[in-house]
Structure 1
Amino acid sequence: MSTVAVKSAQLAGGPLLPYAEAGGPNGVPVVLVHGIGDSWWTFEPLLRQLPAALHAFAPTQRGHGDAERPEDGYRPEDFARDLVGFLDAVGIGRAVLVGASSGGVAARIVAGSHPDRVAGLVLMGVPATLDDKPAAAALWETVRDLRDPVPRGFAEDLLDGLVDGPVGRGLRATMTEESLKPPARVWRETLRGLMETDLAATLRGILVPTLLIWGERDAVLPRADQQLILDTIPGSTLTVHEDAGHLLYWERPERVARDLAAFAARVLPPDPESSPEGGTTAGGAGTSG
């Protein structure tokens, strides 16, 4: 089981972001990107299952968790810009980007705009579009009227709608607390940015190897949504976990870890000559937290 270290990275001209780091220091760099309302903690079960062949980084995005909360900058392109800034801050030249849920939007924007920095793209339960998603429209009806402090019942109800199978009580409690950290304005502006962006357009122009991982019991995303991504990104492939829901990396972290390791080994084999301090693979520019 991998050890998780929590550090922080100061983005050039941007916010200070905490991040978790796990896996082998000489492993293939993998950057995990969480969705709205989450933090690096959403990947904690997955981080602990990662093999030494992977060197994983999971930043908390601006406004979320314990990251700094600028007054603005909560559209998908802003989060994508931060993601490139994070790669720079921790000294990663090329990485496998792994986007979870809405975090996959920022990840795929970077894959399309900075292919030199992305060896491969993994989308875990990521929507092709929100235009036809009743759950997204219902969430917006609630979020646009949110006031501080964010109600605990809001966070609990949201998680209940995303989990299909049993997860640890401690994880559910932690993620409820993490969901309460973003102020109402961050929830509102982040979701507004997603709803107002042409998400289908962010799928075009992606030429890096791409893997979709989807839970067949996902109550939010139908298989047809994933098919739209497959039809748009050339050469993309789909792995289906029949017994998992939207948060499959909570429910089946061991299997997802194997999926990531196999994909990473194919698209970016580790360089035995690389140093953990070098900038071509993974660096150590962050500070321990």
Structure 2
Amino acid sequence: METRTVFCNDIALRILDFGGVGDTVILLHGAMSRAANWFDVACWMKDHFHVLAFDQRGHGRSGKPVGGYSRDDFVRDLVGVMDSLNIRRAHLLGHSLGGLNAWVAASMHPERVESVTIEDMGADQWPAETVDQWRSWFDEWPLPFPCLKEARRYFSSIRPSFADHFMELLEERDSGYWPIFSFDTVLDVLRGIAAKPWWNELRDIRCPTLLIRGEHSEILKRDEALAMHRALKNGHLAEISAAHHVIHDDQPERFKEVVLDFLLQTAPRDRAVAR
């Protein structure tokens, strides 16, 4: 794996190049997360494709500007990364926030996107109180965590499936363990998501699109997923049993099966490596 930094739109963006050959797949993480969250996915995907991920603005080791978290900002960053690395077209796979950014990018720049995979993200406008609810939850975090054991106990008490995901988002400082992200930045990101419904952008997608829903997801309800599938011009829908919001962590083998089947059918055979 190679790590590099590119500068575009006045910020530094940290990129993880996992290697591989064939078509490029760009992995876009969710809110609060980072590119490294895709490590396990990239390990099997690079057997078939060239795989990249990057810390999106406000996340991980990339720049965290004050403001500038609209969909246009995220899409400009994605296109800037592609331009910096001389990538003409790519498959986009995004979780949650990353899924939304992927489908908006496909609607705005159809000439740059081969396919879109959306992991557990809806198109409905969020209720007005959503961001305030997130702020209240952040205020409850008993920071700093004195040790990783206490952090795991806290996140597991909310929901066991949360623990592994959030444990990856902590870093050790002199006073204890803190999140690698800024709460204020994440709230700005969430306001950008909640600003409007995203159905028009979804309907504008021309390329093959896979929507994946976790059976127990509280973010993407089944009725909304079915409506999104109907709205897509070339859409595919998969619901993965016994999974919540972070499907690639909850059910990694089933996630691999569904995604790989879609991508190998979508990518021209001479550009994907069948193994």
Partner of residue 236, structure 1 = 235
Offset at residue 94 of structure 1 (A) = 0.9
Partner of residue 175, structure 1 = 169
Instruction: State the one-letter code of the partner of 2:169.
Output: M
Tell whether 2:181 aligns with 1:186.
Answer: no
Partner of residue 5, structure 2 = 9
Contact 1:93 1:117 in 2 (8 A): yes
Offset at residue 174 of structure 1 (A) = 1.9
- The 1:161/1:123 distance shift into structure 2, 3 A limit, reads farther
Instruction: State the one-letter code of the partner of 1:12.
Output: C
1:64 to 36, 59, 62: 59
Instruction: State the one-letter code of the partner of 2:36.
Output: W
Output the CA distance in 1 between the equivalents of 2:268 and 2:129: 41
The 5 A counterparts of 1:31-46 are 31-46=26-41
- The 1:181/1:108 distance shift into structure 2, 3 A limit, reads same
Offset at residue 172 of structure 1 (A) = 4.6
CA-to-partner distance for each residue in 1:185-227, whole Å, 9 max, x for gaps?
3112111111113323332311111001111121332111211
Q: TM-score, normalised by structure 2?
A: 0.82
Which protein, 1 or 2, shows the higher relative CO under an 8 Å CA cutoff with sep ≥ 6? 1
Output the CA distance in 2 between the equivalents of 1:64 and 1:138: 21
Tell whether 2:23 aligns with 1:28.
Answer: yes
Instruction: State the one-letter code of the partner of 2:232.
Output: I
Contact 2:125 2:195 in 1 (8 A): no
- The 1:272/1:100 distance shift into structure 2, 3 A limit, reads closer
Instruction: State the one-letter code of the partner of 1:184.
Output: F
Tell whether 2:108 aligns with 1:113.
Answer: yes
1:53 to 48, 60, 67: 48
Output the CA distance in 2 between the equivalents of 1:23 and 1:160: 37
Output the CA distance in 2 between the equivalents of 1:133 and 1:264: 36
Offset at residue 125 of structure 1 (A) = 0.8
Partner of residue 223, structure 1 = 222
Instruction: State the one-letter code of the partner of 1:207.
Output: R
Partner of residue 276, structure 1 = none
- The 1:183/1:51 distance shift into structure 2, 3 A limit, reads closer
Offset at residue 83 of structure 1 (A) = 0.8
Secondary structure of the corresponding residue to residue 36 of structure 2: helix
Contact 1:249 1:256 in 2 (8 A): yes
Contact 1:120 1:267 in 2 (8 A): yes
**Unmatched 5+ residue regions in structure 2?**
146-150, 173-177
Report % sequence identity. 26
Offset at residue 109 of structure 1 (A) = 0.8
Contact 1:87 1:93 in 2 (8 A): yes
Output the CA distance in 1 between the equivalents of 2:156 and 2:230: 30
CA RMSD of aligned residues (A): 3.1
1:77 to 50, 72, 79: 72
Offset at residue 116 of structure 1 (A) = 0.7
Partner of residue 124, structure 2 = 129
